[in-house]
Amino acid sequence: MKTFEVKGLSPGMVFSEPVYIEGNSLLVPAGIAIRKKDIDRLVHWGFNSVTSDGAPVRTGPAHDEKEPLSVELNPGFSGGVQARNSGNALSLAEVQENKSAYRSYIDLIERLDSVFNNIESGIAVEPRTVDNLTGRLLQAVRDERDLIGFILGGEVAGRLLAKSSINTAILSALIAMELKFTHHKVMQVVTAALLHDVGMLRLPKEITTKSGGLSDAELQRMQAHPLYTYKIITKELLYPEDVGAAAVQHHERWDGEGYPRRIGGTDIDMGARIISVADAFEAMVSEKPYRNSMMGYQAMKSLLSDNQRRFDPDVLKAFIKTMGIYPIGSIILLNNGAIARVIEVQGDAPLRPKIRVLIDEFGKMFKQDEGELIDLLTEKSLFIAHALDPKEISKKRG
């Protein structure tokens, strides 16, 4: 990494490689102009330098100061949003960071994080702010299928509550659409998914960030967060009961052994049943303070083994049809020895998705979208041998 002094940066400057703050907090992706407010933030928060593997390739005025193209520093959270670049094609951030889908995904996280900051600080939030975010997310889901892959990528760190909530809302939207919900009902489910864990902001940080097991008293406090969520949604944001019920019941179980009310089966709000599946998958594939993440394939296997204990079987079936056995973003090994990434699932053939080759059978690694696109539904001679953990591959190659 080369070091560049902040005083030497100017609005409109473009680098050939991503620019980072303190080694791994992304300031701007490669090819994206640095804005005046990016520089102002660095100065305000006392940063004297930034780092990059590249060099400036253009200077001049930024094209649009209003467009949120770069990932902005949020000093109020540990490290802000970080893009971890492992330096090879298995790194989702490196493959996707310049795509509009990636910028849309980061923008959604930042916007929800701002909402959560205001709620935590006691600043009034207008429901239309959340409604606007819901609309943006649904539009992104319809336009940018790549969004699903970012959930598995594990490339974005920081702003954990906002990231988790955006991921859950994306998955909830896909399930609701698969179940043919009306647009109004989809909006309600997505809004509830965005806010389903907002009650965590009312809990002590020593509980929500604890890396070890919780005591009985701490667990009892933790299990009260859906009630705090309900109050925030219905009393502070003034959303209707349908939104509040979908959020407050997302930890209820199909067998009646959940919390906070121990209701079960069809007595659980339908929106809550959707959020329950989405939240469980998101929790399994995302890194937490107390454990590492699962691969997407392992998480799907875990859900499939539920046997009607936690989840509505019809909702789970819709989720699997939407996500496939190997969800978008999964890294897989083919029977010919090639390594590929799943880029599209096929609902009626969950074991035969469309894939993009990352490393071919001869060991050649491809950059970004240069690898061969293969439809396993038509290429009958190829099949998935098993899923791979990209982190373990990176370690072996490193």
- Min mean pLDDT across 127-131, 151-155, 208-212, 392-396 is at 392-396
Going by DSSP bridges, is the β-strand pair 384-388/373-375 parallel, antiparallel, or unpaired?
unpaired
Q: What is the pTM of this model?
A: 0.73
pLDDT per residue as tens digits for the range 186-206: 999 999 999 999 999 998 888
**Radius of gyration of the chain from Cα atoms?**
22
- Tell me the percentage of the chain whose pLDDT exceeds 70: 80
Which DSSP helix (H) or strand (E) runs through 307?
Answer: none
> Which is more confidently placed, 334 or 75?
334
92-323 maps to which CATH number? 1.10.3210.10
What is the spatial distance between Cα 155 and Cα 26, in angstroms, rounded to a whole number? 11
Residue 384, H or E segment:
strand 384-388
Run of H or E including 246: helix 241-248
Give the Cβ contact number of residue 97 at 10 Å.
22
What confidence tens digit (pLDDT) does each residue in 244-267 have?
999 999 999 999 999 999 999 999
The arithmetic mean of pLDDT across residues 323-335, rounded, is 89
Q: Which residues contact 281 (CB under 8 A, 6 or more apart)?
A: 171, 299, 300, 303, 319, 323
Query: Residue ranges of the domains in the chain?
Result: 2-73, 92-323, 331-397
Task: Check residue 275 and give its pLDDT.
Answer: 98
In contact, 275 and 172? CB cutoff 8 Å: yes
Quick check: 67 pLDDT over 80?
no
Q: Rounded distance, CA 163 to CA 128, Å?
A: 20
Bridge partner residues of 357 (DSSP): 340
| pLDDT value of position 168 | 97
Distance between start and end Cα atoms, the chain: 17
The tokens describing 261, both together, are 């009310």
Per-residue confidence band for 16, with pLDDT thresholds at 50, 70 and 90: confident
Q: Decide if pLDDT at 180 tops 60.
A: yes
User: How far apart, in whole angstroms, are the C-alpha atoms of residue 227 and residue 223?
Assistant: 9
Structure confidence at residue 393 as a pLDDT band (50, 70, 90): low
